[in-house]
Every structure is written in C-alpha cells, then in structure tokens.
Chain A
C-alpha cells in the first residue's frame, strides 16, 4: 500500500510542477482534473481500520467532483469567452518553475523537521501537501486570469486534502464531506462569476463600440 500512496504523491508533485510551467488554459484544466482523480484514490489507500466505506464515499465524491464536474464547468466558462487561451502570467513560466523547485525543497525540509506525533501513511504526504498548497497560492497571485485563479484554488484545496489524509483517523467523515460540499459550491459560484466576467466585459466592449457609433456625425 505504501508504494501506491508514494506514487500518487509523486504524481501530485509532478502535476504541480507541470502546472507552474504550463501556458495553455485547456492543458491546465486537464492537469488539475488528473490531479483530482489521483487524489480520489488517496483515501482508499490511506484509510484506517473499519473506515473503508467512508473512505470510498469520500474518495469517489472527490474524484467525481474534481476529475469531471469542475473541469466540465471550467471548460464551459472557457468556451464562452472570446479572450485568448493563453494563461498570461505575471511571473514568467521559467521563473515560476524555479520558484516552484525552491518551494519544493523548502516543503521537504519543513516536512522532514515536523515532529508529527504519529507516523503519516507516507513520509511524502506532508511535503507533497504543503507544496500543493504553495502552488495553489502561487497560481492565484501570479496569474492574471480569473479562471487560472479558480484552478489555483482547486490545487490549494488538493494540497489541504492530502494533508488531511495524515489525520484520516481523527477527522469525522461528516466534516470531510461538508468541506467537499463547500468546495463544490465555491467552485460552482466561481465558475458562474467567471462566466459573468467574460460576458460583462464583452458586453462593455460592444456597448462602447455602440456609443462611439452614435456619437459620430
């Protein structure tokens, strides 16, 4: 079991790095979906004694939402926009990657030094989770588009989800499901607002064109 968890966590770190260097929105959405699917397996592998069904419920719910529902929502929002599909970063891709590698090293340093009272299911879990939280925050502040910020939010939640697996024994399922529901609604509302942002700004552009035409003699 330990090996499978490690592989998933390596996948989490790798997808984060790919996201930092990715320039296409469509690609980024696909990578976040893949990340969500991989994380859905995590509760199944990390669950404790007698908590198989809750783990299945949580894992399946998380995988369906993050792997299928969110990407569909975001793709829909993307389709409506006539803006370019480039990500338009504030911080360049190479710089982002370099910063990411630095953050990864820090996460490992911190994770190794953190005196957890009990052994996590995998020594990678805390560093990978922390790195994902960092990547999410970085994407939110260093990318220009609203849709990339939503992706950053999802990546950050993925990191918190991975960190939460350390506590899989102690967190009540109801809370985990409540968290999942909140994130679902949050991304749903964000998706709607992204849709409005696209429409509103298209709308304004066309309005201004109209106003100019009226003003011309």
Chain B
C-alpha cells in the first residue's frame, strides 16, 4: 500500500518525460494526484498494518502529514494544469527585473513535481531515521529544478542558494543520525539502531549526552529545511522565485516534512526523559523565528516574499507548540494542517495576481477586488485566515498553543509570541488591503477580468478547509490529531 503511494507518482514521473502531448501530460498529473489522494484516503479509513521492524509504515503522525501533502498536491495539480497553459512558450520578459528568459521544458517540470510527491510520501512514511534522511535530501533534489522553471538569473541564484544551504544543512542532520547510532549502540559498538519506534521503546537505555548532541544536529539540519531562523536564508528567495504553485507546495508540504523529522527526534528525546532539553531548544528557535519573521513582515515590499516570511513565522509557531509540549503539541499538529491549507491557497492566489499584474511588488498592485473579483475577495479572506483571526482554523490552533503556554505558567513566552503575531497581522493587513481594495496603480486597468475556474477553485477549496476546521473538526481527523500528539510525546485537550 505504502509502496504504491511512493511508486505511483514515480512511475508517472517517468511517463511524463515520455509523453509528447502537453494536454495528456497535464491530465495525467491531475489523475496521478487524484489517485494518490484516493489511496491516502484508504490509508486513513483502514490504516495498513505495520510489521514491528519495518522501515516504512504509517503511524498517526505519518498519516496526518501524508494527508496534508496529498490533499495539497491534488489542489495544486489542478491549478498547475491551468497555469502551465497560461505560461508563454517563447522568450519573455520579467517586468520587475527586466530579465529575458525562457521556461524549462514542461515535461521536466511535471516529472520533478511528481518525483517531489513520491519523495515526500517516503519522508512521511519513514520509520527509519536513515531512510528519512535519504528521503528528505531527495525532496531537495527533486524541487531544485522546479524553482528554476523560469530560466532567469534571479531564479538561478535562488536555486543555487536553496540547493547548497539545504544540502549542507541536511549533511549536518546526517551527523545527527550517526550520533543517534552511537547513543543506542552497546559498549562493543554493535546493536545501534535508527528505527524510530525501537529508539522510543529503548529510550531509557540510550546514552543521554550523545542523544542530546544528536538532537542539536538534527534540529539544525532539518531546521534548515524547515526554515527556522537563523537557517532560513534560502527560503524567501526560493519561494519568491519559484512558480506560484511550486511555492505553495514548498510552503505547505515540504516545510512540514522537515518538521516531521524534527518531531521524530524530539519524541525520542521525550521518551528518554530529555523532553525539557529538546523542548526548550525547539521553543527558543520557534520564538526567534516568529520574532524575526514579524519584523520582515512589517516592511514587506514583495508579496511572494511576504508570504514566504509568513511561512517562517508559522514554522516558528509549529516549533513553539512542539517545544511547549502537552496540549500545545496537539495545537501544533492542528496548526500544521491549517497553515498548509491557507498558505498554499494564498500562494495560488498570488499566482493569479502575478499573472494579471505581471509584478511581485506590493506597491504596484491595487484594486485587485475589482479587477480579479474572485481572487481579490479570496485574498482578503486569506488575510484573516493567515493571521489567525476567528472563525478560521488558524485561530483555533494558535489559541490552543497560547492557552497551553499560559496554563504552563510561561507567560513571558506567550506574550512574546502574541506580540510577534500582532506585528505580523499589522504588516500583512497593510499589504493585503492595499492590494485588494487600494487604488489601481497608474496605467493599470481596473476593468474586471474573467478568471478561469481552475485558477480559483483550488484556492477556494483550501481556504474552505481552514474555515471548516475553525468551526468543526471531523471525528476522524480529531482522532488522528490526538493519536499523533500522544505518539510524539504530547497530550490532547
């Protein structure tokens, strides 16, 4: 079952290189995404049994993150099938920089997207930390060509930065894996293991100093990929240069995958009685990320970079929730679902703005609600969804985390987090309101344009997910959230 989830996109990636017709290839992309989601749905309804020593298997946390990734990929694939059609074929000019460029071949782009889905599935299904490492590095390699779809110097620079920073970061995580082996091996050097469930079961016998060192390396390594400050330097560049649907997947799905790697390490530490150590580190990085990102959000000039910094901020929220532990970990799980849905939706809408206005500058976009009636309105709703306003799900999850912080007596932490959220809200609302309701810039038309259904519906569906989750959490999802929180060493309300 799990292998089917991994190999189905891989096979269709191979096929997409061979298929000549763009129309058939786009249809196959959507069909593969739909099949992947259907299989994921089956895994949710009837979780496949996992053999004790198996390297791959879906536990509750794996199911949760697989669900997010698969759903997101489905929505994005529908959008991609449309947005590839509006990309021009020949030489084109980027209006912000004046660069002349051509696009990468569509077949390669589609193949990399599908390989990305395959490697992402492997990440969430890995129970073996070594396999997890291999899969996370593979996601980096599959996504690098996606960022360089628009073949212009700025994209190239972003791709290079992404590839190098993440590869080096991930190499440090490999050292962390080595240290875990040292922590778990017996005195003659045999019997070391990297199987996460075994490590949790044997946690009491692990060598604590080595485990601590391992956690630091894993946190820095996967934290680079997750976009925690100060390892986030690649993130705003890559997200603003990548085509919008790719940014949606990077923010919504890939960052979560890296977070799962950190969570696995955190759960081993928690089982070994080092939960305070790893939790404090996580919460510290989380607060730092929220604070730094809020400062950048207050002065954003490029709306895709703004969304990227908002991702840094929300990764900070996730790390904070996981670090606080207890009910806050449940809150972090819920927030991961909410943030992924909202952020992916917003990036897709940003793609519509970019297609209409041909610029990423906030100042040069205005009157979006008139010119793009659907996208402009959704963009406004998205503002409330991303900043955690009720009734959206992000409010519920951020509230859960902050309430847990107060309940644990960490008032200072909660106050700093609230301040960061407030600054982010102020900065983002200025930009969002101007883009949707502000005056149209000189020389830009404000006549309403017809928007294609497939450019709007995916974003609408994703925002609706967050709205529904704010009002009512389905029983099945609630069960998985609670199980995942318990599995990773937290609690549930």
Q: Which residues of A contact B (CB under 8 A)?
A: 48, 116-118, 133, 137, 140, 146, 149, 153, 156-157, 160, 163-164, 166-167, 169-172, 174-175, 178-179, 181-182, 185-186, 189-190, 193, 196-197, 200-201, 204, 207
Contacts and interface: CB of A to CB of B under 8 A. Distances in A.
Nearest to B130: A175
B171 A201 contact: no
B492 interface: no
Interface in B436-462: none
Contact of B141 (A163, A178, A182): A182
Interface string B158-172: 011001100110010
B192 A186 contact: no
Contacts of B187: 117-118
A184 B451 CA distance: 44
Contacts of A163: 175, 178
B153 A200 contact: yes
Given A179-B174, A193-B159, A204 B131 contact: no
B141 A185 contact: yes
Contact of B189 (A157, A170, A179, A185): A170
A167 B182 contact: yes
Contact of A117 (B100, B128, B134, B207): B207
A48 B153 CA distance: 49
Contact of A169 (B152, B174, B189): B189
Interface stretch (B143-151, B228-236, B302-310, B380-388): B143-151
Given A118-B187, A171-B192, A179 B163 contact: no
A179 B168 contact: no
Contact of B175 (A48, A160, A193, A200): A160
Contacts, number: 112
Nearest to A150: B164
Interface string B124-140: 00001011011001101
A186 B145 CA distance: 12
B188 interface: yes
B43 interface: no
Contact of B164 (A140, A172, A175, A181): A140
A172 B130 contact: yes
B413 interface: no
Contacts of A190: 163-164, 167
B182 A116 contact: yes
Contact of A170 (B159, B174, B181, B207): B181
B191 interface: yes
Contact of B168 (A117, A137, A197, A204): A137
B88 interface: no
Contacts of B100: 207
A163 B178 CA distance: 8
Contacts of B140: 186
Contact of B131 (A160, A175, A207): A175
Contacts of B138: 182, 185
Given A117-B182, A153-B171, 15 more contacts: A118-B185, A160-B175, A166-B182, A170-B184, A170-B193, A174-B130, A175-B131, A175-B133, A179-B134, A182-B141, A185-B141, A186-B167, A189-B144, A200-B151, A200-B156
B414 interface: no
B405 to A, nearest CB: 36
B245 to A, nearest CB: 21
A178 B137 CA distance: 10
Contact of A153 (B159, B164, B191): B164
B194 interface: yes
B134 A178 contact: yes
A171 B163 contact: no
A182 B181 contact: no
A116 B192 CA distance: 14
Contacts of B130: 171-172, 174-175, 178-179
